[in-house]
Amino acid sequence: MENNYTDNDIQVLEGLEAVRKRPGMYIGTTSEKGLHHLVWEIVDNAVDESLAGYCDDIEVVVHNDNSVSVRDDGRGMPTGINQKTGLSTIETIFTVLHAGGKFGGGGYKVSGGLHGVGASVVNALSTWLEVRVYRDGDVHYQRFENGGHPCEPMKIIENCAKDRTGTTVTFKADPEIFKETTEFNYDTLSTRLRELAFLNKGLRITLIDERVPDKKDVFCYNGGIIEYVSMLNKNKQALHEDIIYVEGKEDNISIEVAMQYNDSYTASLYSFTNNINTYEGGTHEDGVKNALTRIINNYARNNKILKEKDEALSGDDCREGLAMIISCKHPDPQFEGQTKTKLGNSEVRKIASDVFGEGLERFLMENPTVAKTIIEKCMTASRARIAAKRAREATRRKGDLDVTNFFGKLADCKSKDASVSEIFLVEGDSAGGSAIKGRDSITQAILPLRGKILNVEKARLDRALSNEEIRTIITAFGTGIGEDFNLDKLRYHKIIIMTDADVDGSHIRVLLLTLFYRFFKPIVEAGHIYAAQPPLFVIKHGKTIKYVLNEQERDEYLATLSPTTKYDIARMKGLGEMDAEELNETTMDINKRVLRQITVDDAILADEVFSKLMGEEVEPRREFIETNATYATNLDV
């Protein structure tokens, strides 16, 4: 058989095969997260076109079959033939790895979650992909199938308005690759697309979900990151009217900062580089944070608000209640860290510190009233921090935070190996008693919770420490809290919230999650938090007692009974209805139970949810509950 492959064909085949063999190397994982990376890759190419100044309208559509279209109104990909490969530029971009690298000097390459692996990876991981380029009054079209193989060369399929330009890419993720799911999550898409609209002021991004009637969002923010900060503070009480905005550029590196204080005790600070969310921070964030602390301390000292004898304000003091967005644009960013989301370029630290420091200093000088409000806020935070330190020391001295002291509350497990140890936080004494009886005492500790946990959404650390239940939990975890926090000291690698499947149970679970998210975020981010799933129904027939988790399991089980079996079915109200053995069998035994892991995939979204649900403003909570009521299953009203 004549082998008419050119060496270019072989390079293409090997490239696409390599991607399909080890997709994780190109998109991180083939889980739901990796599936969404396909969209980010294509969207980032459209955003690049916007950064280059040629596109101001992007549309993302999820079709009924979960294929996705991304359309931009940029110049349209070049439709020429690539001299080197003899292929159309389009075919090259979609079949040669890393061929999409668009700009040489000058432009910024926005890179997706894995920093621009390029459109060819999306093609390789799709059952089919189509490109339509609108330019010069023609629609240039090419279709690829089975992991990126071109069906035929690019061709003109129709014409279009003379002045219409742009690129549309439609693709269907390959279920052979994405075995977990090929279903796109609307919230995931809308959160990231909204973020991109905030970060690229004036760019309009539309998201349409054809799987649901009239499901559409349009994001466009002419105020850019100023509007981002205003959204972060939407459900909070801002301490000053104007959002402070600073921008500057040095050596082709641009720094943009927007900030506004609110009356909460948490900092909501998010940093980006070339639109990538630098979750792990980096030199841009360090530079801005250092400048913030320096400028605030200088201002407080120079205006005699901070006296000689007063301790300097710490970084945390200056960031309490601060909503801040930092956006750095860099022509050649170096990313480091566990998930490659930490900016490493050392030259940025000083540039960020100088640019932001100078801008903030000027703002404080020109707005003394706002400056005074901000300094007051930082001073109060400082006094509370010092009080909390004293409270911690006092409780430590009194032994309140010692494991021994709270004997009788915690039924600890015998194993000292955290990796196999679990702690159940159980609602109520009766369930607590059954859990202690039914548990595996080698690896399972039980901490019965008597009262309601304090709602710490609106509490500082010193206030949280005054709550008995919270002190007990801090001690049981072993990590310490606040400045003393050390994740390595965590005594259990599974922290399991076990509450009733009713309204009170859900309320206690949310209060616990608020505590963990606000004061133990690293524990949540490390995936140590779980929710037990006690049975919702008990079905009895003859001597058989069957517990099931939800309606679906109930119906599946009932379907297995012969029609002549009349049976009894009851909705479980509380953990207390089961004896120790049943509780263990259905909810605790590691071979039988079903746990739900709690993750904080999107910190910004979680921030919004907690401040809406647990904050003081009633209106946002009502709106949130109304919007999400349809998702609430097993309502016990």
Which sequence positions are flagged as catalytic?
A: 427, 500, 502, 504
> Which residues 439-498 are close enough to bind ligand 28F by CB under 6 A?
none
Q: What's the Cα-to-Cα distance from 602 to each of 24, 191, 599, 608, 609, rounded to whole Å?
A: 21, 9, 9, 10, 11
Could you say whether residue 423 binds ligand 28F (CB under 6 A)?
no
Smallest distance, ligand 28F to C-beta of residue 141, A: 14
Nearer to ligand 28F, 195 or 469 (CB): 195
- Segment interacting with ligand 28F, rule: CB under 6 A, options 165-173, 338-346, 398-406, 612-620: 165-173
* 116 versus 282: smaller Cβ distance to ligand 28F: 116
| Minimum CB distance to ligand 28F, residue 41 (Å) | 9
**Looking at beta carbons only, is 45 or 444 nearer to ligand 28F?**
45
Strands (E), 262-341: 268-273, 276-277, 322-329, 335-336
Contact between 558 and 565 (Cβ < 8 Å): no
Task: Find residue 348's DSSP bridge partners.
Answer: none
Closest-CB residue for ligand 28F?
45
Which residue in the set 90, 124, 169, 473 belongs to the binding site for ligand 28F (CB under 6 A)? 169
Measured CA to CA in angstroms, residue 445 lies from 87, 248, 416, 495, 496 at distances of 65, 54, 11, 10, 10
Q: What is the DSSP string of 30-87?
A: SSHHHHHHHHHHHHHHHHHHHHTTS--EEEEEE-TTS-EEEEE-SS----SB-TTTSS
Q: Please give the structure tokens belonging to residue 192.
A: 């990231």
Binding of ligand 28F by 75 (CB under 6 A): yes
Chain centroid, CA 41 distance in Å: 18
Number of residues that bind ligand 28F (CB under 6 A): 15
Among 38, 70, 295, 384, contact with ligand 28F (rule: CB under 6 A): 70
Residue 89 C-beta: closest distance to ligand 28F, Å: 5
Are the CB atoms for 470 and 456 separated by under 8 Å?
Answer: yes
Closest approach of ligand 28F to the CB of residue 82, in Å: 8
**Would you say 120 or 167 has its CB closer to ligand 28F?**
167
Q: Which of 228, 321, 314, 230 is nearest to 267 (CA)?
A: 321
117 binds ligand 28F, rule: CB under 6 A: no
- 167 binding ligand 28F? (CB under 6 A): yes
Site string for ligand 28F, 76-105 (x = CB under 6 A): -xx----------x------------x---
Phi and psi for 133 in degrees, rounded to 5? Answer: -115, 125
| Region near ligand 28F per CB under 6 A, out of 69-77, 432-440, 487-495, 608-616 | 69-77
Between CA 232 and CA 501 the distance in angstroms is 32
Q: What angle do CA 479, 480, 481 make, to 5 degrees?
A: 115
142 binds ligand 28F (CB under 6 A): no
Q: Which stretch binds ligand 28F (CB under 6 A): 21-29, 72-80, 373-381, 612-620?
A: 72-80
Q: Could you give the 3-state DSSP secondary structure of residue 491?
A: coil
Please check whether residue 455 is in contact with residue 614, taking contact to mean a CB–CB distance below 8 angstroms.
yes
Torsion angles phi and psi, residue 379, rounded to 5: -65, -45
Q: Which of 74, 282, 333, 359 binds ligand 28F (CB under 6 A)?
A: 74
Q: Which two tokens stand for residue 43?
A: 């969207």
Whose Cβ is closer to ligand 28F: residue 135's or residue 377's? 135
Stretch 14-53: interaction string toward ligand 28F, x if CB under 6 A: ----------------------------x--xx--x----
In the complex, the residues that contact ligand 28F under the rule CB under 6 A are: 42, 45-46, 49, 70, 72, 74-75, 77-78, 89, 102, 167-169
